[in-house]
């Protein structure tokens, strides 16, 4: 990886991190309506923690934001990986119609790699991993006619973390019976970025540009986020406060958990 390409990667990060991460995470929160947020939370837990309205709304939104940040930032770093592979190997991100679940395809050293990119190594349950194995199997079938003389290798790429046993065997099952086995490689952290770029230090070198204008952008974010929390708290108090200005817990719990039918169980027969 040349100094020129490294500079191009750093410029890509600096030019895109604002819109693709900082702006998007605030937009994602602002898109949520109060009732959409409340109906997904456990009112019993918040009652047990004795939170007031402001604490309740902030804790709910903070939890939502934290989960969204991981996803949004993962998508941004995926874009960085695709950018590097495009520059070095003419790699591309296939459309979902072309290949389901594959984020990157490129040729290197006489082989073709179909890459499913995840944020870190500890992701997914068995059902989600089964889906990845099936996507890998389908990718091999679909890509082979396009690259008849080359081997198609599936890769589970993880942008951070470690895995000391990268060679894996995915077992596709139906009714607990193994119907197919898919060999793939799980490359994490330093190994993943080196695999993409041929640079053992890239995993460290992309850290610096990620902080581009971070302090200023985070200050702006916190200011706008604070305004949104105040707005949501005001809406909550109008809808779910009691005569003393406290939280009307019964009304809130009714909204989250009350059945729409008069007596759903009258139609339920477990025998």
The answer to which of 52-61, 96-105, 189-198 has the lowest mean pLDDT is: 52-61
Q: Report the C-alpha gap between 51 and 55 in whole angstroms.
A: 6
Structure tokens at 106: 């490129």
21 within some domain: yes
Query: Which pLDDT band, with edges at 50, 70 and 90, does 268 fall under?
Result: low
Full residue range of the structural domain in which residue 187 is found? 90-210
17 within some domain: yes
Query: Are 5 and 81 part of one and the same domain?
Result: yes
9 within some domain: yes
Query: Are 241 and 162 part of one and the same domain?
Result: no
Is the pLDDT reported for residue 82 higher than 60?
A: yes
Is the pLDDT reported for residue 83 higher than 90?
A: yes
Q: Using an 8 Å Cβ cutoff, are 171 and 133 in contact?
A: yes
Structure tokens at 24: 């998007």
267 within some domain: no
User: Which CATH number characterizes residue 177's domain?
Assistant: 3.40.1560
For the chain, what is the mean pLDDT?
90
Query: Are 128 and 18 part of one and the same domain?
Result: no
More confident residue, 33 or 102: 102
pTM score: 0.84
* CA pseudo-torsion sign 234, 240, 246, 247: negative
Query: Are 168 and 254 part of one and the same domain?
Result: no
Is the pLDDT reported for residue 265 higher than 60?
A: no
Query: Which pLDDT band, with edges at 50, 70 and 90, does 202 fall under?
Result: very high
The answer to which of 45-54, 93-102, 186-195 has the lowest mean pLDDT is: 45-54
More confident residue, 267 or 249: 249
For residue 49, count CB atoms less than 10 angstroms from its CB and return exposed for 0-12, middle for 13-18, buried for 19 or more: exposed
Query: Are 66 and 7 part of one and the same domain?
Result: yes
Query: Are 79 and 170 part of one and the same domain?
Result: no
Query: Are 201 and 233 part of one and the same domain?
Result: no
164 within some domain: yes
Query: Are 70 and 95 part of one and the same domain?
Result: no
Q: Which residues contact 65 (CB under 8 A, 6 or more apart)?
A: 25, 28, 29, 225
| pLDDT for position 261 | 67
266 within some domain: no
Query: Are 123 and 194 part of one and the same domain?
Result: yes
| pLDDT for position 263 | 63
Query: Are 195 and 219 part of one and the same domain?
Result: no
**Domain limit, last residue, from 210, 230, 247:** 210
Task: For residues 182-186, give the mean pLDDT.
Answer: 97
DSSP 241: B
Query: Are 206 and 217 part of one and the same domain?
Result: no
Nearest to 136 by CA among 78, 67, 182: 182
Structural domains of the chain, count: 2
Query: Which pLDDT band, with edges at 50, 70 and 90, does 37 fall under?
Result: confident
Angle (deg, nearest 10), helices 53-89 and 3-17: 150
Task: For residues 47-51, give the mean pLDDT.
Answer: 83
| pLDDT for position 199 | 92
264 within some domain: no
Structure tokens at 196: 């993409």
Angle (deg, nearest 10), helices 190-197 and 53-89: 30
Query: Are 28 and 73 part of one and the same domain?
Result: yes
268 within some domain: no
């Amino acid at each position: 990886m040349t100094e020129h390409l490294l500079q191009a990667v750093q410029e890509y990060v600096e030019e895109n991190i604002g819109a693709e991460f900082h702006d998007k995470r605030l937009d994602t929160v602002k898109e949520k309506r109060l009732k959409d947020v409340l109906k997904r939370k456990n009112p019993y837990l918040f009652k047990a923690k004795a939170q007031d309205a402001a604490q309740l709304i902030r804790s709910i939104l903070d939890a939502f934001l934290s989960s969204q940040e991981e996803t949004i930032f993962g998508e941004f770093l995926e874009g960085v990986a695709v950018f590097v592979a495009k520059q070095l190997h003419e790699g591309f991100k296939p459309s979902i119609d072309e290949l389901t679940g594959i984020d990157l395809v490129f040729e290197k050293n006489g082989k073709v790699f179909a890459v499913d990119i995840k944020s870190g190594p500890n992701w997914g349950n068995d059902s989600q991993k089964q889906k990845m194995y099936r996507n890998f199997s389908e990718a091999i079938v679909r890509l082979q006619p396009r690259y008849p003389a080359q081997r198609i290798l599936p890769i589970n790429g993880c942008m951070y973390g470690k895995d000391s046993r990268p060679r894996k065997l995915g077992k596709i099952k139906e009714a607990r019976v193994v119907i197919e086995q898919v060999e793939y490689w799980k490359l994490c952290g330093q190994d993943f970025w080196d695999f993409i770029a041929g640079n053992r230090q890239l995993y460290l070198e992309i850290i610096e540009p990620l902080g581009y204008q971070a302090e200023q952008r985070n200050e702006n974010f916190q200011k706008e986020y604070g305004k949104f929390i105040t707005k949501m708290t005001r809406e909550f108090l109008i809808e779910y406060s009691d005569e003393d200005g406290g939280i009307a817990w019964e009304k809130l719990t009714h909204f989250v958990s009350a059945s729409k039918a008069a007596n759903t169980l009258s139609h339920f027969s477990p025998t």
